[in-house]
Amino acid sequence: MVILSPNVYTTAFNGASKIMTVMMLSVEFNFFSKFGGALVKIVETPWKGLYKASLFLFGIPFFLIGLILLIIGGNWAFILNGAVWIIFGVGLKIKSTYNRRKLETLKREGLCYEGSVVSIIPAPWVKIGSYVTSRVECVYKTEKGDCLVKSGYHLLLPFDRREDLYAKIYFDHNNLENYIVELFRGDTGVLL
């Protein structure tokens, strides 16, 4: 995986637009990885970006409007609504941070197996834009035989097929029940 640090390149460029380009390149390279010699894209989880919408689109604006309405007329409804959205957004951020740190720890200290996706289990109760929120079942090979694990939620595109998805399963050395599935999307020929 290639990760560019924007701090290294700031002295090389004088223009602000060139610095921003280098910073955006560093973000883009973080989403891609080599898997079996092919360039694949990491499939995101719903927790990663949903907290931003909850906080900045609903929580903070409702809370600020509620403060204004409380000062003007004594109405607490918007403040309470904003507080609920803020609590929800903070909870999603905590979940995202927990999953990210767990993945980093298991990548560093755990066992890694490459798996193949056996089935896609959609979750119709969670809808984010045009994405299909789904869990996947993966099979990986060990010395004891084939083992089946179920992932957490991922944001799949409507045209994703299980043949185009690849998985890496990271296990804790001491507890094989403690695992996390990192899902990758292969090249489908569709431009996003």
In a domain, 78, yes or no: yes
In a domain, 23, yes or no: yes
pLDDT band at 1 (very low <50, low <70, confident <90, very high): very low
Give phi and psi for 145, each to the nearest 5: 130, -165
pLDDT tens-digit map of 88-99:
999 999 999 999
Helices assigned H by DSSP within 31-148? 47-53, 60-73, 77-109
- Considering the chain, what percentage of its residues have pLDDT values greater than 90? 52
Mean pLDDT of 16-35: 37
Residue 148's CB is within 10 A of a number of other CB atoms, namely 11
Q: How far is it between the farthest Cα atoms of the chain?
A: 70
Measured CA to CA in angstroms, residue 158 lies from 36, 102, 105, 112, 182 at distances of: 24, 28, 31, 28, 19
Q: Which of 4-13, 59-68, 117-126 has the lowest mean pLDDT?
A: 4-13
Q: Rounded to whole angstroms, how far apart are CA atoms 157 and 175?
A: 32
Amino acid in the structure at residue 185: R
Number of structural domains (the chain) is 2
Q: Rounded to whole angstroms, how far apart are CA atoms 62 and 121?
A: 35
In a domain, 61, yes or no: yes
In a domain, 192, yes or no: no
Q: Rounded to whole angstroms, how far apart are CA atoms 165 and 115?
A: 10
In a domain, 38, yes or no: no
What pLDDT is stored for residue 37 in this prediction? Answer: 54
Give phi and psi for 111, each to the nearest 5: -90, 145
pLDDT band at 5 (very low <50, low <70, confident <90, very high): very low
Measured CA to CA in angstroms, residue 177 lies from 15, 60, 130, 149, 170 at distances of: 51, 38, 32, 10, 11
In a domain, 83, yes or no: yes
55 and 92 share a domain? yes
96 and 56 share a domain? yes
Residue 83 structural domain = 48-100
pLDDT band at 130 (very low <50, low <70, confident <90, very high): confident
Structure tokens that stand for 4 in this block:
């560019």
In a domain, 171, yes or no: no
